[in-house]
Structure 1
Amino acid sequence: MARFIGEKMISVGILDRRPIVRAGLELFLAGLPDLRFAGHTGDPGKVVSLVRTEDVRVLICSLSHAVDVLRETREHCSELAVLVLSDVPPDELVVQAIRSGAKGHLQADARRAEFLDAFRAVATGRTHLSASLAEQLIDKREGPAKAPHETLSEREFQVFMKLAQGSSAVEIAKSPALSAKTVATYRSRVLEKMQLTSNSDLTYYAMKNRLMA
């Protein structure tokens, strides 16, 4: 028999662009007590409608959409608790999501018990951090502050330098390993992490910090 928190089960929704991930999470949630699967979407633009229509209390959100979704739902769905799910080790983007208002973070390979603990925590206003993210936050607090460009991954830094040198997204996408959509994603991440707004800002930053001649 399903157990309850207060008088209601925790209503959980999913935002992830990958259908197989959404289907897997739906199946997983169906076997957890205290929870009611409310629906899923792969379109960030439909999150507010999903949350309002299905009275979603906790939204499992893929890392790539987290910051944008938090901005969108802050005004329209202030009671929503966003739980960020990532399948890569936590990086600066995860930290940014937490700072933007996400109530928790889980690795995709977390155990069943941790998933349930996370849902219960964020649904009652508490924060749940994965062990790997908690360690990273402690390291950041104890260690020296990094320059913005030092927070970029290797590929992000490569895209940053090409943009700073004046290459367009189309030109960068000529690389066999990158598509125009991927470049656009990297550019958004770079600007977000470095707290800049344009390619000219990237150029100025690179010159100021002597990253290019």
Structure 2
Amino acid sequence: MSNTKQSSPTVIRVLIADDHVTVREGLAAIIGRQSDMVVIAEAANGQDCVDRWLECRPDVALLDLRMPILDGVGAIQAIRREDPSALLIVLTTFDTDHDISRAITAGAKGYMLKDAQREELLDCIRGVHAGETRISPLLVAKLAAGVSGEMLTSRELEVLTLLARGHSNKDIGARLSIGETTVKSHLRSIFSKLQVLSRTEAITVASRRGLIHL
């Protein structure tokens, strides 16, 4: 990379964090061809992303949600604790309202899917660098749909997770040290909040929304 490109005051310095080397190389190639951008660092996991951010202080970071050691949301939170003004863009394959909500709540300024067009991604980087928040209208609609529903409590999520793993009400009660009647009460609340009528439907909807991972 030329000195002229790096010394230009308008160049956006980018950090790429993804545990797949082919994804990092592809993004680096795309970004590297832009006259107003330069990749200054890459990271293969969430902790590495945090370390590289603190070391290089990039203008913008692209990071995946699912990474080893520390996931994307954890990395965003860690970086924002050290640098509240950090500009972070999630680039992932996951598009559930739960994933989007967690990322935005943690402090992400952009949320893009990996199947987005190249120009969309580049425009997102430029927009976030300019102080904008960039989330596609489709993802905003998904986020709004999720927010409009009632949130499950941590206990309800525990019950739902065990339900998805095939446990009976009796097993769930034993594992969580609660009675079967209490388990049934939690399930009624879960069904109501998810607007479903059966255990199978609850698992399907919860998985689609990213509340549980099968």
For 1:126, the aligned partner's letter is E
Change (3 A) 1:204 1:19: farther
What's the counterpart of residue 149 of structure 2? 145
Partners of 2:183 and 2:151 in 1: how far apart? 12
Structure 2: give runs of 5+ residues left out of the alignment: 191-214
What's the counterpart of residue 132 of structure 2? 126
What's the counterpart of residue 69 of structure 1? 75
What's the counterpart of residue 187 of structure 2? 210
What's the counterpart of residue 101 of structure 2? 95
Partners of 2:43 and 2:90 in 1: how far apart? 15
For 1:165, the aligned partner's letter is I
For 1:97, the aligned partner's letter is A
Identity of counterpart residues, as a percentage? 22
Partners of 2:118 and 2:5 in 1: how far apart? 16
Matched, 1:165 2:172: yes
Q: Conserved in 1, the CA contact under 8 Å of 2:41 and 2:56? A: yes
Change (3 A) 1:115 1:38: same
Structure 1: give runs of 5+ residues left out of the alignment: 169-198
**Aligned Cα root-mean-square deviation (Å):** 3.8
Q: Conserved in 2, the CA contact under 8 Å of 1:16 and 1:41? A: yes
What's the counterpart of residue 53 of structure 1? 55
Partners of 2:92 and 2:111 in 1: how far apart? 8
For the pair shown, which has the larger CA radius of gyration, 1 or 2? 2
Shift of 1:36: 1.0
Q: Conserved in 2, the CA contact under 8 Å of 1:57 and 1:79? A: no
Change (3 A) 1:151 1:140: farther
Partners of 2:14 and 2:165 in 1: how far apart? 36
Change (3 A) 1:206 1:161: farther
Partners of 1:55 and 1:124 in 2: how far apart? 17
TM-score by length of 1: 0.66
Partners of 1:156 and 1:109 in 2: how far apart? 32
Q: Conserved in 2, the CA contact under 8 Å of 1:118 and 1:128? A: yes
Partners of 1:62 and 1:204 in 2: how far apart? 41
Partners of 1:23 and 1:167 in 2: how far apart? 48
Partners of 2:105 and 2:40 in 1: how far apart? 26
